[in-house]
Amino acid sequence: MYGIMRCRTGELGVWVRSCPNGHFAEVNACSCRERSCPMCAPARRMRWLEGWSQRLLPGMHLHTVLTLPSELHDVWRHNRRAMARMLFAVARQTLFTLTDDARHLGALPGMLMALHTWSRELSLHPHLHILVSGGGLDAGGQWKPLTRRDFLAPVGRLRKLFCRQFLDALEQAYKRGEVARPPGWEEAKMRGQIRRLRRIKWNVRIEPPYRHGRGVTNYLARYVMGGPIGRSRLLSFDGKEVEFVVGREARNPSTRKLEVEEFLRRWFQHVPVRGLHTVRAYGLYASAHGEKREACRAMIVGEVGEEAAIEATRIEALPARVDRCPICKLELVIEEHRGRVPRQHGPPARAPASLPFPQAA
């Protein structure tokens, strides 16, 4: 809260860029650099996209969504770190079990997973968005594309496997004491809830394939950083209630009003636990498999052509900022930093003093 409320206000410090000849000076307020800050999100999001444009393999990609049922929301609230790690681990195990099967792929694909915990109304809704390459590296070291180009595996089998493996992992973690019961839950309720969840239908989706991975990464980038709601969705605040957009209709979107205390409660429940990575890469997209990934890229380029491969992973570059003096055209230089407050969690021991802002000549 401290960092986001003071982001780019000058209270966290400023840095100055100026013309060597003294024609121009530009004062920039320091950012808070919190990953849930909407102010800091656009530039960091674009850098994330540029990085992934270099890693994505050209060609078709599949988008899969794995969602935890609402019956586990109380368990999630009181075990966020353990549940998030378990969700990533089980999703990885489930998808690799299917892709190892020769009936579906029989090769090692690339996977990018992003954790989202919110709905459009900011209520708790933990789910994973997973980008899977439309092929993989087989045991013989050759690129093997998906034989069925419309889906990775039958959604029924994916749902059943994910449900069973997640509940098995949850039950074992509970026995080891790694997952605690929510307040008010007795031992019988915890175990009974796990048994009941084995009989219900979980929400698992396999979206239609994309010709390339760029479409899904653009979608994921909106949620990788910047918090659960963007600034464009905030409409008004009258001192008591916050109004924001919840519908997706462009012309006449539906809105929702919440009392400010409830809005903040919903917003802050989605701030990631400190040290928790909400985006993870596996298979060919893992950092350790860079050589295998580049070998696959060379084989794909040989099939589709270099121009098609470049187009499939192209991401719009970050807009260049003005780096030259508007008068003498010399390159601006960073003159100094003033009052920079080291990054920390919580307010500083002493508030920074007010700083005079130099004026442009």
- Note the pLDDT tens digit of each residue in 101-133: 888 888 999 999 999 999 999 999 999 999 999
Cross-strand partners of 21: none
CATH at residue 129? 3.40.1310
pLDDT value for 104: 85
Q: Which domain holds residue 361?
A: 1-39+324-361
Q: Indicate if 172 and 248 belong to the same structural domain.
A: no
What pLDDT shows up at residue 360?
A: 38
Amino acid at 168: D
Q: Do 216 and 157 share a structural domain?
A: yes
Question: How large is the greatest C-alpha to C-alpha distance in the chain, in angstroms?
Answer: 76
pLDDT at 43: 79
The predicted structure's pLDDT at residue 53: 79
Residue 298 corresponds to which tokens in the numbers above?
């060379």
**How far apart are alpha carbons 16 and 182 in whole angstroms?**
50
Residue 235 covered by a domain: yes
How does DSSP assign 14-44, residue by residue?
Answer: EEEEE-TTSS-EEEEEPP---TT-TTTHHHH
Q: How far apart are CA 287 and CA 295, in angstroms?
A: 14
Low-confidence ranges of the chain (pLDDT < 50): 317-318, 320, 340-345, 348-361
Residue whose tokens read 């809830």? 193
Residues 6+ apart with CB under 8 A from 162: 66, 90, 91, 94, 202, 204
Say how many Å lie between the first and final Cα of the chain, rounded: 36
User: Are 286 and 213 part of one and the same domain?
Assistant: yes
- 204 and 93, same domain (yes or no): yes
Specify the pLDDT at position 349. 45
pLDDT number for residue 23: 85
Question: pLDDT value at position 314?
Answer: 55
Nearest-CA neighbor of 18 among 330, 314, 228? 330
pLDDT value of residue 352: 41
- Whether the model clears a pTM of 0.95, i.e. scores above it, the answer is no
